[in-house]
Amino acid sequence: MATTNSLTFTHHGDSAGDPGAERGRIGAGRAHGKAILLGEHAVVYGAPALAVPVAQLAATASATRWTGRDEGADKISFAIAGPGTASVTPPDMDSLRHLVTEFKARAPVVERMSVDVLIDCEIPQGRGLGSSAACARAAVLALADVFDRRLDAEAVFDLVQASEKVVHGRASGIDALATGATSPIVFRAGAARELPIAARFDGVLVIADSGVGGSTRDAVELVRRRFERDPAARETFVYRVSGLTRAAVRDLADGRPGDFGARLTENHGLLRDIGISTDQIDGLVEAALAAGALGAKISGGGLGGCLVALAGDHRGAAAVARRLCEAGAVRTWVVPVGRSASHAH
Ligand code: MEV
């Protein structure tokens, strides 16, 4: 069920009411969820990673401007509606506050900012599907729209990334980019390019929600501590994941879904070994493989969240999704890639 939470803050000042204000322009912004196929965590240490946009999970924002009073402190309110927003946790509040500060620095708004931002987020939180980045991106675009400020792609990325760093601590930037991407991407060191997929590559991704939330911030911190204690483990992990991801790029370009699937499963093993999977997710990965998936792995920050499995076609994807639900997944989404994606349009 969708719930709504709100938070209000004034920028440099008190939160006194705004008598005499009149509703003015409305701006809109939109972003979507993402799923990481290979390379999460290693990407924080410079490895490449692959991600797909999950267009069916939208985050939209509308920004309503109030006019009629030009003096006093800025007054900005945020409300977030959507599944799993039973609480607006402090990082959300901090990140949105930070977003406004950064927005003002990048896109100077000389007049007093009096604006209500409503974010409607279909992306479940804490599932590694990019909800925080998508909400921030939708909010940035709505603010730019309502204040008539042109922001190029790099400026939008920088703003979303600034907010992500507040939410996740160390963030590679993959979520900030993938939540605005229109095609699968390969990301490395802050930059992304479109991931070439052979027209003959036949594959359907099944993303499954384990029903258990995981904190990306905690997961990134856990991995950081582990690597601090054991720098050689970091080197091996980053080296092996980089190799898998580069090989997976070639599998997609050359149309080899079986090999690509095997890389997913191998990447899962490496993520499990560094401690970011759970027994439940390991069980779901096994269930997907038993149902005929070509490969499966945990996806995103981990410690719960989602897994991603690759099926050979839509029928196979339906069988994998069914088995995952029987094994405890609470919902699934299907994302076709390659030939299956072009047939879906
Ligand atoms: C989160 O979706 C992916 C991580 O690699 C963190 C990051 O890259 O910012 C776990």
Quick: pLDDT tens for 78-123. 888 877 554 444 447 778 888 888 998 888 777 788 899 999 999 9
What DSSP state is assigned to residue 71?
S
Distance of CA 148 from the midpoint of ligand 1 (Å): 32
Structure tokens at 244: 């898998």
- Is the C-beta atom of 175 inside 6 A of ligand 1? yes
- Is the C-beta atom of 126 inside 6 A of ligand 1? no
Provide φ and ψ at 337, rounded to 5°. Answer: -130, 160
- Is the C-beta atom of 171 inside 6 A of ligand 1? yes
Q: What is the pLDDT of residue 14?
A: 35
- Is the C-beta atom of 209 inside 6 A of ligand 1? no
Q: Would the pLDDT of 27 be above 50? A: yes
What is the per-residue pLDDT across 204-217, written as a single tens digit (0 to 9) for each? Answer: 999 999 999 999 99
Percent helix, strand and coil across the chain, each to the nearest 5: 40, 30, 30
Q: What is the pLDDT of residue 325?
A: 98
Structure tokens at 194: 């479109």
Pocket test for ligand 1, best of 37, 41, 54, 234 (most atoms within 8 A of CB): 41
Pocket test for ligand 1, best of 50, 57, 127, 216 (most atoms within 8 A of CB): 216
CA atoms of 235 and 339, how far apart (whole Å) = 36
Q: Which atom of ligand 1 is nearest to the CA of 300?
A: 2
- Is the C-beta atom of 43 inside 6 A of ligand 1? yes
Q: What is the pLDDT of residue 4?
A: 53
Q: Which atom of ligand 1 is nearest to the CA of 223?
A: 10
Q: What is the pLDDT of residue 1?
A: 45
Q: Would the pLDDT of 72 be above 60? A: yes
Q: What is the pLDDT of residue 89?
A: 47
Helix axes 131-146, 153-168, angle to 10 degrees: 140
What is the per-residue pLDDT across 262-303, written as a single tens digit (0 to 9) for each? Answer: 999 999 999 999 999 999 999 999 999 999 999 999 999 999
DSSP 239-287: HHHHHHHHHHHHHHHHT-HHHHHHHHHHHHHHHHHTT---HHHHHHHHH
**234: CB partners within 8 A, 6+ apart:** 45, 227
CA atoms within 13 A on the CB side of 147: 23
CA atoms of 211 and 119, how far apart (whole Å) = 23
Q: Who wins on pLDDT, 19 or 299?
A: 299
Q: Would the pLDDT of 323 be above 90? A: yes
Q: Would the pLDDT of 132 be above 70? A: yes
Structure tokens at 159: 């703003």
Q: What is the mean pLDDT of residues 313-336?
A: 97
In DSSP terms, 299 is beta-bridged to 306
Structure tokens at 150: 């042109």
Mean pLDDT (the chain) is 90
What is the per-residue pLDDT across 164-205, written as a single tens digit (0 to 9) for each? Answer: 998 888 899 999 999 999 999 999 999 999 999 999 999 999
CA atoms of 56 and 79, how far apart (whole Å) = 22
Predicted confidence band of residue 28 (pLDDT cuts 50, 70, 90): very high
Distance of CA 216 from the midpoint of ligand 1 (Å): 7
Q: Would the pLDDT of 142 be above 60? A: yes
What DSSP state is assigned to residue 327?
T
Q: What is the mean pLDDT of residues 143-164?
A: 94
Pocket test for ligand 1, best of 220, 242, 298 (most atoms within 8 A of CB): 220
